[in-house]
Amino acid sequence: MGKCQWTLKMKKQDYIQLRTLSDQFYIDNKGLQEALDGSNDGKVRGYGIVVIDINGLVFGIPLRSNLNHKFGFVSERSGGVKKGLDYTKALLIKKEEYVSRAYKIPAAEFAQINDNKEKIQEDFNKFVNKYIEAHNKNDANILRDYRYSTLKNYHNELGL
């Protein structure tokens, strides 16, 4: 069976896929370190994700309304606040049914993300590969940049 549409690598003619994660994702993935929505009261705030395939692994990169570091893609700046995709909070999506309904954002922000989909794919790939390399070399300086990253949850899948 071929890959489903949501797992295909982004191509020039494709529109980027903005989605939410299903409730089942949160049920099946309790206890992820550094993941968004890890509130103590058990409530989950749904947020938009961009679905990206990196080396056969499918990740959901969340949209953040306050991106306060350099590890992401800025889609909008307003009053000193940056909105965009947060690579550090990317989640591994192991089942197609974890990807839920479409997520709506303002047209200008969508266009900014969609027009840069190849850059996003390339930059996130570099982000993941740099983590793998730093982990393999036990490079504490580089790993410091990843201390709040969700990638620490996926060592088996990343071959670490």
Closest CA to 19 of 44, 52, 42, 41: 52
In this prediction, residue 37 carries a pLDDT of: 63
Q: Is residue 56 part of a domain?
A: yes
Domain holding 81, by residue range, is: 16-154
Q: Is residue 73 part of a domain?
A: yes
First to last CA, the chain: 28
In this prediction, residue 44 carries a pLDDT of: 53
CATH number of the domain within which 21 lies? 3.10.129.130
Q: Is residue 116 part of a domain?
A: yes
Q: Is residue 126 part of a domain?
A: yes
Q: Is residue 65 part of a domain?
A: yes
pTM score, whole prediction: 0.85
Q: Is residue 97 part of a domain?
A: yes
SS3 18: strand
Name residues of the chain where pLDDT drops below 50. 1-13, 38-41, 43
Q: Are the beta carbons of 123 and 73 closer than 8 angstroms?
A: yes
In this prediction, residue 80 carries a pLDDT of: 83
What is the tally of structural domains in the chain? 1
Q: Is residue 79 part of a domain?
A: yes
Question: Is 149 exposed, middle or buried (CB count within 10 Å of its CB: 0-12, 13-18, 19+)?
Answer: buried
Q: Is residue 39 part of a domain?
A: yes
In this prediction, residue 98 carries a pLDDT of: 92
Q: Are the beta carbons of 113 and 61 closer than 8 angstroms?
A: no
